[in-house]
Each structure stands twice: as C-alpha cells, then as structure tokens.
A and B are shown apart, each in its own frame.
Chain A
C-alpha cells in the first residue's frame, strides 16, 4: 500500500488543471480595523510565505476571524496594507483565497459530492463536470460511499472533510481555515488533524489557520502567532518532526515546552 501522501497527491493532480491565482504569499502590514468603535485589530504584522502554514491563536474576541476576513478580501482594513500573492486590492485578494468557515456550512439540499463541487459550478462548469472532478477526491479523502448522501446523514467529521474538499476545489493558493474542527469531539478532531496534515503534504497550499486550540495550531503549522488585544504579541517557530505518530509528537519534551510557552503568551 503506497504512502498516504502519495495517494493524495495522485488525487490532487486533477486540481492542477485548474489555474491557481498566482503564488500565495500573504503579507499583513500595520493593519488596523475598527468595528463598533473598538480597535479590533491594532497594527497587525504577519507574513506567511507561499505554501507556508501559520496558525493564529488567541482568546475569543482577539480579532482572529476579523483578520481572516480582511485577508480574504471580504473586508477592508481602516489602515495598513494586506497583500496576497502580490495583490493588495480586495477583489484580487478574494480571487486568491478560499475560506473554510467555523461551521461546515454545507448546503443541506446538495449531496456531499455536489457540495464539494460548488466552487466548480460557480466557475461555470456543469454539474456533471463538477461531479466528475470532485468524485476522485472523495475516494482518496476517506469519503468513498458518502458521495450521494445529504449532509444531514453525515457525521461531523465527514462533513468537515467534505467542507475541506470543497475549499480545495476552489483552486485557490491560499486556504483560510477558521476553527475548522472547533465543533468536533476530541477523537474525531485528532483524526481530522492528521488527515489534514496528509492532505496538505500532498497538496501544499498557503494556510492561515485560526484556532483557540494551541495544540492544534502547533501540530498543523510551521509557525504559530498569538493574537491579543489586536496585535501579534508572540510568535513561535514549530520545529518538530511531524512524521512521528501523533501520540509521540504531542508527548515529546519539545512539543510540551512549546505548548507551555504559547499558552503563557496567550495569558
């Protein structure tokens, strides 16, 4: 049996047929956003290299989701600049980013397969063509057999997988994941974290992951920043071996030390 990563990259070859919107480096410079009289973001600096993975952790209300909206081009900063793949105009940022929201946001009237192909249909493909492109990913992403089920019949973990495949099929270089596993139980969550790592190893994308789970951020990202009171107050390079089993990784001294330092930084 071939390695998980190899199987996934085979599956994702089809995605290369869809043009990606340039390279995916994200640069956030001095961004301020005032919402309802409050400076939700107050001079955020952040750099994510193309195909880099950065985790943003912080308490609720620290402005994490606001930052994702701004990067995605769904919102504009009051001051400062954001560029995605070299483009700083909102419309162009939007063209380069795909958002995976907190809840899976699957459409209840569409089957899992048709949910996954949503972005393809939006780009003008027929439903048949969208299905043909989405179907191979289902088999290789642990979703075989779920193609024709409506979301109500899927487990929470399956729903998130479908949501992620949908985000991938948007064919964008930057993935913005907003608490993607926040609603899942601990076991499913751990399972999906490993699954996501394998998927991203096969198909590298620039990833901004918002979470309040420090462990999740450290496991999935190369770099973790702490957002507090509208600024990046700390940053950690996550220099740990990821090929080891999850249990070994999370119990290693290096991991535990990183986690403690990050938790301390969040305060």
Chain B
C-alpha cells in the first residue's frame, strides 16, 4: 500500500488544484468542468452510464479474448515455422503503420452496426503487442537449455511444452498487459464508427449537447475499465506464473 501513497497524494493534489482553478477563474462547465461537476454527473447519470458501461465492457472483454486467442495461436504457428515467420513477421510489423482504429468505419460498413465490428477493432488494436511478445518470448529460451533437453529425450513438442512455453509466459503476460490498456480505446473507436449504445456512443451524444461533465464521467469510467482489465491480467499472471514473483522475493 505504501508505494501507492505518493502517486495518490499527487493525484489528489492535482484534482484539488483543478477544482480551485476552475472555480477561481469561473470557467463554465461546458468548457472545462470542475471535478465536482464530473462527480455530480457520475451520480446523476449513474443509470445511463451503467447501461453504457455494460455494453462497452462486453465489447472490451470479448474483443480482448478474441485478440489473445488469435495472437497466441499465430505466435505458436510462427514459432514452429521458420518460413512462416520470415514471410509474415515483417508484414505484421509493417501493418502497425496502418492506424488500426481508422479501420472502424470500414468494418462498420462490412460487418454492420452490431457488436461484431467493435470486437474486431478491439481485437486488432490488442493483437499486435501480444503476438510480438509471445513470438519473442518463445524464441528466448536459452540455447544451453535446449541442448540439454535434446539429451534428455526431449523432442520438439516436449521442448515446447516443458521449456519454451513456460519460459515465455512472463513475456506473453507483459504483452497482454500492454494490450489491456489499448482495449478501451479500440471499443470507443468502434462505437464512434456506428453504434447506438456504449460509452463511446454516450460521449458522441453528449458532445453536441455541450454536456462536458458527462463526457468526462464517461472517460473516467473507460479508464476504470482499462485499469480493471490490467489488474485482472496481472492477477492472472500471479496465479499462472507464481515462480516469477517467488524469484523476485528471493533475488
């Protein structure tokens, strides 16, 4: 808990200063709402926000799971096939120059206005850090370990299961943590390209009404969702890769 006290204090100070500055300069809410105005919107629009949160949460979670499944499957394929790796890895890296969130409008045209295009946007945004980290992690097994495995009756699949995959888990999880912070952004862009519900949609509606406190409230909820997903992935890592934290406490 102690390591959180400094950042929390800083955050509290910043919010306090923000409140004071807005009140002192008498800035209208629609230009820049004070934290108190955002808080009252959180309270007043709770029902609306809750409905929207459920929609967006579903998109985030399902899209993220889709990304994890596809990325890990592809990483394993890339790991086992040098030819595939040589052909596909440069293209994957190159594809990152495409601003993936801008695929959202195209996806909306192709897949319609349901949940499908949102899932795909979230998945596309989250996919890359997971696949790259997983490929790196799988290839980072120490050569000495691999040689030893061969003298211990270890075939290709044995080595993958017992050495490469467990050894790659910490790296895979750091990719998954990075991706977790992207998922919420993906969902919002998906909703902006065409939707009738969700936090992104709420923001879009609040904007012409100059309901800036509500926009801030929605952004706050989105941050909380991203944070929750991040925390969940970290927790999963602790459960699945317990030797990592064990090693840290013994270092």
In residues 15-64 of chain A, which contact B (Cβ within 8 Å)? Answer: none
**Which A residues touch B142, using CB under 8 A?**
105
**Stretch from A118-126, A137-145, A223-231 contacting the other chain:** A118-126
In residues 143-187 of chain B, which contact A (Cβ within 8 Å)? Answer: 144-145, 147-155, 158, 162-163, 166-167
| Chain B proximity of A220: nearest CB distance (Å) | 20
**Which A residues touch B144, using CB under 8 A?**
101-103, 105
**Which A residues touch B163, using CB under 8 A?**
107
- A105-B142, A170-B153 are known contacts; what are 9 more A-B pairs with Cβ within 8 Å? A72-B147, A72-B151, A99-B148, A107-B167, A118-B162, A119-B153, A119-B154, A121-B162, A122-B154
**Which B residues touch A102, using CB under 8 A?**
144
Instruction: Find out whether the CB atom of A153 lies under 8 angstroms from the CB atom of B250.
Output: yes
Q: Chain B: interface residue count, which band?
A: 20 to 34
Instruction: Find out whether the CB atom of B151 lies under 8 angstroms from the CB atom of A94.
Output: yes
Tally the A-B contacts, defined by beta carbons under 8 Å.
67
Which 8 residue pairs are nearest across A and B when measured between Cβ atoms? A119-B152, A122-B153, A99-B151, A122-B158, A122-B154, A109-B166, A109-B243, A108-B243
Tell me whether B26 is interfacial, beta carbon within 8 Å: no
Residues of B within 8 A of A (CB): 142, 144-145, 147-155, 158, 162-163, 166-167, 241, 243, 246-247, 250
If A105-B144, A150-B243, A150-B246 touch, does A170 touch B151 (CB 8 Å cutoff)?
yes
- In Å, the complex CA distance between A157 and B152 comes to 21
Please indicate which of the listed interface residues B151, B153, B154, B243 has the most CB atoms of chain A within 10 Å of its own CB: B151
In residues 111-166 of chain A, which contact B (Cβ within 8 Å)? Answer: 118-119, 121-123, 150, 152-153, 166
Instruction: Find out whether the CB atom of A152 lies under 8 angstroms from the CB atom of B250.
Output: yes
| Chain A proximity of B155: nearest CB distance (Å) | 7
Instruction: Find out whether the CB atom of A152 lies under 8 angstroms from the CB atom of B147.
Output: no
**Which B residues touch A150, using CB under 8 A?**
243, 246
| Chain B proximity of A98: nearest CB distance (Å) | 5
- In Å, the complex CA distance between A170 and B148 comes to 11
Residue of chain B at shortest CB distance from A120: B153
Residue of chain B at shortest CB distance from A123: B153
- In Å, the complex CA distance between A99 and B147 comes to 8
Contact of A107 among B151, B162, B247 (CB under 8 A): B162
Contact of A101 among B147, B246, B247, B250 (CB under 8 A): B147
Instruction: Find out whether the CB atom of B247 lies under 8 angstroms from the CB atom of A152.
Output: yes
Tell me whether A88 is interfacial, beta carbon within 8 Å: no
**Which A residues touch B152, using CB under 8 A?**
98, 118-119, 122, 166-167, 170
- In Å, the complex CA distance between A101 and B145 comes to 8
**Which A residues touch B153, using CB under 8 A?**
119, 122-123, 170
